[in-house]
Amino acid sequence: MSGTRLNKYIASSGFCSRRKADELIESGVVNVNGKIIKELGYIVQEKDKVFVNQKLIRPARHEYYKFYKPAGYITTSDDEKGRKTIYDLLPESMFALKPVGRLDKDSTGLLILTNDGDLINELTHPSVKVPKIYLVTIEARIQKSQLEEMASGIEIEPGKMAYADIIVLEADNKHTMMQITLYQGLNRQIRKMFEHFGYEVKSLKRIQHATITLDGLRRGEFKPIKPQQIKELRNFLNRISNS
* Beta-carbon contacts of residue 36 (< 8 Å; ≥ 6 apart): 28, 30
pLDDT of 96 higher than 90 = no
Superfamily of domain 132-209: Alpha-L RNA-binding motif (3.30.70.1560)
pLDDT, residue 2, reads 66
What does CATH list as the number for 64-126+211-241? 3.30.70.580
**Residue 104 designated active-site:** yes
Using CA of residue 60, residue 61, residue 62, residue 64, what is the dihedral sign?
A: negative
Mean of pLDDT over the chain: 92
> At CA 120, angle to CA 189 and CA 94, rounded to 5?
105
**114 near 222, Cβ under 8 Å?**
no
Q: Does domain 4-57 have CATH number 3.40.50.1000?
A: no
Of the residues 22, 48, 104, 106, only one is catalytic, namely: 104
* pLDDT tens figures, 218-233: 999 999 999 999 999 9
Distance CA 2, CA 4 (A): 7
pTM over the 0.85 mark: no
pLDDT, residue 8, reads 86
Distances (CA, A) of 200 to 28, 175, 176, 203: 48, 11, 11, 9
